[in-house]
Amino acid sequence: MAIELTFLGTSQAVPTASRNHTAVLLRYQDEMILIDCGEGTQRQFRKARINPCKLTRILITHWHGDHILGLPGLLQTLVLNNYNKTLQIYGPPGTQRFLETLLKMFIFVGDIKIKIQEVREGIFYANNNFILEAHNLEHTCPCLGYIFKETDKRKINLVAVKKLGLKPGPELGKLQSGQSINHEGRLIKPEEVSFVKQGKKIAFVFDTAICKSCEKTAKDADLLICEATYLNELKDKAAEYKHMTSVQAATLAKKSKVKKLFLTHISQRYEHESEKILKEAKKIFKNSFLAEDLMKVEL
């Protein structure tokens, strides 16, 4: 199944005319997962012509304003548009208290079903099709890096099956689930007639100093979405505020053996020269791309 990503916001703390606050939308099968919800995110849904009422989950990396101030407006809009699901919201410790406080700051019209789960290190959600995993990053407040990973699937080799005279039915089902079978007096092992297709992995690394958890999150990702707030000439400033430079993001991608790198969370100072961010990264990791608002990527 295809995984579709839409960059709804790609700026750092201060938005620009062309970059909204941070938000990335992931669509897969019947899931629509929003990673962070900066101010103005609900309007970005409109611009992208995506119905926010299809949202199933929101993953909050951390509770700095540029990553969450779009939540009240988005939730109110969902209610006004008859959202009828239970919205699953995940975030670092403190998420329950922070969200409840945020929603008490104005008169919220109507009701919405929300389930909040405070996330710590490791896998925090899994079903037959994908897992969600988190790692603790190093920022100025509790902050999580997230992984979306498709479940590996065993696929039947139809040519091998035909040679053995196997027909659709329970025997093939057992082989596909990884079990051996006896067929006409012969033991057939699953690896003889099937192969394992690796699921795709998307990694999200926002707002952090470079650290070991960055590597854990990014390792072998098909696509890494990573902050590149500053050019390398401001690496000291990046370290002071626990952010990353384009060089650090590209080095992370190369070291972690990712296939594609998308750079985001771009400082307002580069509004008219963001290509410098990409140029620096490409010197280290050629398969780098600069994320732009409303850009769509499909895997």
Rounded Cα distance, 18 and 126, in Å: 36
Whether 86 contacts 115, CB under 8 Å = yes
What is the torsion angle, in degrees rounded to the nearest 10, for the CA atoms of residue 167, residue 169, residue 175 and residue 180? -90
Which residues touch 293 (CB under 8 Å, ≥6 apart)?
A: 7, 8, 9, 10, 18, 19, 20, 44
Cβ–Cβ < 8 Å for 268, 12: yes
Q: 29's torsion region: left (phi>0), alpha (psi -120 to 50) or beta?
A: left
Q: Is 30 among the residues known to form the active site?
A: no
Given the residues 30, 36, 66, 293, select the one marked as catalytic.
66
Q: Which residues are catalytic?
A: 66
